[in-house]
Amino acid sequence: MIEENNLGPFTTGMHEGHFVGEVSVDGRLQMVKSFKRDECLRALEVEGLQSTVRKAVERRLRQLDKGPMDYDPNLTTSGFMATQRVRLTFGMWQYRHTVEVDVGGNCTGLTVIDSAVEAAYDDLPYIESIDAARVAKIVLTDQEGDSLSVEDDDLKADDWLKDMLVAAEIVSITPEDRGHG
């Protein structure tokens, strides 16, 4: 007999007739980022939902209710500048790390994403290698909260991060103050 599912959209599978899923705050927060509207509504019905997760679900609902972002190409033409926020997700096996980076200028599309990866690389912590080179590292986590530390051993710089890029999205664009006078 299969038990009732009390995990809602946080269910990740079944094991020996029992539903299993994400119960940690960090894991649930990661899942909420990609929830669609119906998953958000089901998540709010989960008994004992952590307050931090509830707030994230409510934020996600507001985001979904706003509809798609208005990506106005005129904000970056004719010498105009804008700041674009880019959400990048790096992954290896089941491990992920998501970061948001602001990119200023008048570039668009893949150029913005490429610049965001470069900025994300510049923000990574470094370790000293045996030959005294500065080696960047990134820590990825899985849904169980286990971590995987990955280092740029070959010193490929941002190309190393690009090889791990599994998702990229421009999530907002804000025009720079153009001044009137």
- Of 36, 66, 96, the residue that ends a domain is 66
Domain assignment of residue 1, yes or no: no
List, as own/partner pairs, every contact residues 137-142 make where C-beta atoms lie below 8 angstroms and the sequence separation is at least 24, other chains included: 138/90, 138/97, 138/164, 139/97, 140/90, 140/91, 140/92, 140/95, 140/96, 140/97, 141/26, 141/30, 141/95, 141/96, 141/97, 142/93, 142/94, 142/95, 142/96
Domain assignment of residue 180, yes or no: no
Q: 132 with 79, same domain?
A: yes
Question: What digits encode the pLDDT tens for the residues 149-175?
Answer: 999 989 999 999 999 999 999 988 888
Pseudo-torsion of CA 130, 134, 142, 117, nearest 10°? -150
Q: 112 with 151, same domain?
A: yes
Closest Cα partner for 130 from 157, 159, 153, 158?
Answer: 153
Give the chain's residues under pLDDT 70. Answer: 1-4, 130, 132, 178-181
Domains identified in the chain, total number: 2
Residue range of the domain that includes 30: 8-66
pTM over 0.85: no
Q: 82 with 31, same domain?
A: no
